[in-house]
Amino acid sequence: MNTAQASLNAETFAVKSTAKAWLVCLSASLFFFYEFVQIMMFNSINPSLMRAFHVTATATGQISAAYFIANILFMFPAGMILDRFSTKKIILTAMVTCVIGTVLFSFSQSVAQASICRFITGIGGSFPFLCCLRLASRWFPPRRLALVSGITVTVAMLGGVTGQTPLTFLIDHLGWRHALLVDALVGAVFTAIIFINVSDYPKGMKEAVLKQARSLNVWRMIGNTLKNKQNWYFGLYTCFLNLPIMILGAIWAGLYLTQVFGLSQTQASLVTSMIFFGTIFGGPAVGLLSDMLGRRLLPMKVCGFISLVLMLVLIFDTQLSFTGLMVLYFLLGFVTSSQVISYPAIAESNPHSLAGSALGFASVLIMLGPAIFQPLFGWLLDLHWSHHLIAGVPQYGLTDFRVALMILPFSFIVGTVLCYFARETHGRHLSSDHSNNQEY
């Protein structure tokens, strides 16, 4: 069976067996859900870590950033590994790595130990979204890829929500160390579900493209990926539009909302959760709109501009009510979900045999954002800090937060400008290479 026949069989099978396709992809997305719990948990455990390790914002930012440093180092290799080996085996191996890292983190006694454990978790966290996209490209036809990507991100955002109020509640009742052990147990259950339900290919689909990828020279794969400007433009766009989730949602919104707006820890976690709920609804909506329009860049530009306006309001209007904050955080999550469009755009801008490598490289660019800006945010908070502590937790002022938060408007401007340099794919592959331009 040639590659074109494999592509036709895959699309026909996916249409006839939608339930099976969704079972495979949604089961795999549990890995992405779990990873977002690990990424976003710092809003919940931040005060506990500051007390346990006797540190300030700079140190906690460094612990959190260790995860993203591992992502940066391993995501590009992850893409090439994904192009060459069984997706299911990769998911299971990476998931076990994450669970082990979480267990070790719960026993850490210093900033150095905690950072190493987060680094281990970050190694496993280099794989989930790439694996989900790879499975989606095999189990669904190309015209549905943006929608499936959006729904996959929605599942991940549910993990982000779980890492806020539910995890805060668990920490309040069990302590942060025991809460992390419960978290690891959930990861073990998810690993079993993935083992049972996930399959690499639809029935009857040959591994023609996978075999082709295995035959490619690794250095040529890297070279072709780096030379494609589309990968840079779309990857950096997602990096910058993703920062509210990675900076506010993951670690700093809790302190900002409690110390500037006077919210309780539970109220702050509810407001922060609205970013994820916004993305839960926005991801599928924006992905579906992009598929219907046959346009990638227009929604990305519009959402980038609206994100800028919303962020400026959140920074400079400190009289916002609890309800107003809930609404604005939801809207911010909704419009920044335009980042999901860049994933199919990257897939459409590369030959299929290099799709995993291209997405892996883009993911490196995406994770550069939190790896750089999370510790920078903490450093900016500490820059003019008054050294005032309450119950071992540093207290920061409005000016401290405003200086640090200006990272976000700047990032939205840069991300939106990049869209004017990228090439519109119109939901179709730009590659005309017949041997490579086939669906898995």
pTM to 2 decimals?
A: 0.72
**By CB neighbour count within 10 A (0-12 exposed, 13-18 middle, 19+ buried), where does 180 fall?**
buried
Query: What's the chain's average pLDDT?
Result: 83
Give the range with max mean pLDDT: 4-8, 150-154, 193-197, 245-249.
193-197
88 lies in a domain?
yes
Q: How far apart are CA 256 and CA 266, in angstroms?
A: 13
437 lies in a domain?
no
Number of domains in the chain: 1
Q: Tell me: the pLDDT tens digits for 347-379?
A: 888 876 677 678 778 878 887 888 788 888 888
Tally of helices (H runs) and strands (E runs) in the chain:
22, 2
Q: Tell me: the pLDDT tens digits for 112-137?
A: 999 999 999 999 988 888 888 888 87
Lowest-confidence pick of 142-156, 170-184, 269-283: 142-156
Residue 434: pLDDT above 70? no
User: Which CATH number belongs to the domain containing residue 385 in this structure?
Assistant: 1.20.1250.20
Residue 95: pLDDT above 90? yes
Nearest to 102 by CA among 125, 77, 79: 125
Give the range with max mean pLDDT: 140-144, 162-166, 240-244, 353-357.
240-244
pLDDT of residue 86: 85
pLDDT of residue 204: 61
| Sign of torsion over alpha carbons 265, 266, 271, 275 | positive
Domain residues for the domain of 151 are: 3-201+218-419
pLDDT of residue 382: 84
426 lies in a domain?
no
Q: Tell me: the pLDDT tens digits for 34-64?
A: 998 988 887 778 788 888 888 887 888 888 8
53 lies in a domain?
yes
Say what percent of the chain tops pLDDT 90: 32
Residue 170: pLDDT above 50? yes
Torsions phi, psi for 391 (to 5 deg): 55, 35
pLDDT of residue 45: 84
101 lies in a domain?
yes
pLDDT of residue 211: 55
In terms of pLDDT, which residue wins out, 361 or 324? 324
308 lies in a domain?
yes
Residue 112's alpha-carbon distances to 41, 64, 119, 207, 297, in angstroms, are 18, 12, 11, 43, 42
Buried-exposed string 363-389: b where 16+ CB fall within 10 A, e elsewhere: bbbbbbbbbbbbbbbbebbbeebeeee
